Structure 1
Amino acid sequence: MTAPTAVDRDAVLAALATVNDPELHRDIVSLGMVEELTIEGGAVSVKVELTTPACPLKDVIETDVQAALEGLPGVESVTLDWGAQVRASDPREGQKAIEGVRNVIAVASNKGGVGKSTVATNLAVALAATGAKVGLVDADITGPNIPTMFGLAAGLQANQTEGLRPVEKYGVELVSLGFLLPKGTPVVWRGPMIGSAVRQLLHDVPWENIDYLIIDLPPGTSDASMSMAQEAPIAGAVIVSTPQDVSLEDAMKAVSMFEKLDVPVFGMIENMSYFIAPDTGTRYDIFGHGGARDAAEELGIDFLGEIPIEPQIREGSDQGVPLVVDKGDSASAEGFRAIAGAVAARISVLQRMGT
Structure 2
Amino acid sequence: MATDTAPTSATAPTEAAVRAALSRVNDPEIHRPITDLGMVKSVEIAADGVVSVGIYLTIQGCPMRETLTSSVSEAVRGVPGVADVHVELDVMSDEQRRELAASLRGGQAEREVPFAQPGSLTRVYAVASGKGGVGKSSVTVNLAAAMAADGLAVGVVDADIYGHSVPRMLGTDGRPTQVENMIMPPEAHGVRVISIGMFTPGNAPVVWRGPMLHRALQQFLADVYWGDLDVLLLDLPPGTGDIAISVAQLVPGAEILVVTTPQQAAAEVAERAGSIAVQTHQKIVGVVENMSGLPCPHCGEMVDVFGSGGGQQVAEGLTRATGAKVPVLGTIPIDVRLREGGDEGKPVVLTDPGSPAGAALRSVATSLSRRERGLAGMSLSLTPTRRG
TM-score computed with the length of structure 1 as normaliser:
0.68
Give the deviation of 1:255 after TM superposition: 1.7
Partners in 2 of 1:275 and 1:234 — Cα distance?
Answer: 36
Greater strand percent: which structure?
1
State the Cα deviation string for residues 99-139 of structure 1 (Å, max 9, x = none): 97622111100211100000110111111121111111100
The count of aligned residue pairs is 258
Are positions 1:327 and 2:346 aligned together?
no
Calculate percent identity across the aligned residue pairs. Answer: 41
State the Cα deviation string for residues 277-302 of structure 1 (Å, max 9, x = none): 33442421000122212331343211
Match of 2:178 among 119, 141, 158: 158
Match of 2:309 among 290, 293, 308: 290
Match of 2:117 among 91, 97, 101: 97
Aligned residue in 2 for 1:114: 134
Structure 1 moving runs of 4+ over 6 Å: 98-101
Quick check: 1:100–1:207 contact (8 Å CA) kept in 2? no
Give the deviation of 1:98 after TM superposition: 9.4
Partners in 1 of 2:238 and 2:305 — Cα distance?
Answer: 22
Are positions 1:315 and 2:340 aligned together?
yes
Are positions 1:169 and 2:169 aligned together?
no
Quick check: 1:99–1:207 contact (8 Å CA) kept in 2? no
Structure 1, unaligned stretches of length 5 or more? 1-94
Aligned residue in 1 for 2:143: 123
Q: Which moved more, 1:282-291 or 1:311-320?
A: 282-291
Are positions 1:342 and 2:361 aligned together?
no
Quick check: 1:240–1:271 contact (8 Å CA) kept in 2? yes
SS at 1:306's partner residue? strand
Quick check: 2:121–2:373 contact (8 Å CA) kept in 1? no
Quick check: 2:170–2:346 contact (8 Å CA) kept in 1? yes
Change (3 A) 1:244 1:151: same
Aligned residue in 2 for 1:234: 253
Give the deviation of 1:342 after TM superposition: 1.8
Give the deviation of 1:142 after TM superposition: 1.1
Aligned residue in 1 for 2:70: none
State the Cα deviation string for residues 291-318 of structure 1 (Å, max 9, x = none): 2123313432111110000000110000
Change (3 A) 1:234 1:123: farther
Higher relative contact order (CA 8 A, sep 6+): 1
Tell me which structure has the larger Cα radius of gyration. 2
Q: Matches of residues 43-82 of structure 1 in structure 2 within 5 Å? A: none
Structure 2, unaligned stretches of length 5 or more? 1-114, 320-325, 381-388
SS at 1:246's partner residue? helix
Partners in 2 of 1:314 and 1:149 — Cα distance?
Answer: 9
What amino acid does structure 2 have at the position aligned with 1:146? V
Change (3 A) 1:350 1:207: closer
Quick check: 1:122–1:323 contact (8 Å CA) kept in 2? yes
Partners in 1 of 2:296 and 2:178 — Cα distance?
Answer: 46
What amino acid does structure 1 have at the position aligned with 2:363? A
TM-score computed with the length of structure 2 as normaliser:
0.62
Give the deviation of 1:226 after TM superposition: 2.1
Quick check: 1:134–1:212 contact (8 Å CA) kept in 2? yes
Change (3 A) 1:98 1:277: farther
Match of 1:252 among 258, 261, 271: 271
SS at 2:201's partner residue? coil
Quick check: 2:172–2:187 contact (8 Å CA) kept in 1? no
Give the deviation of 1:348 after TM superposition: 5.7
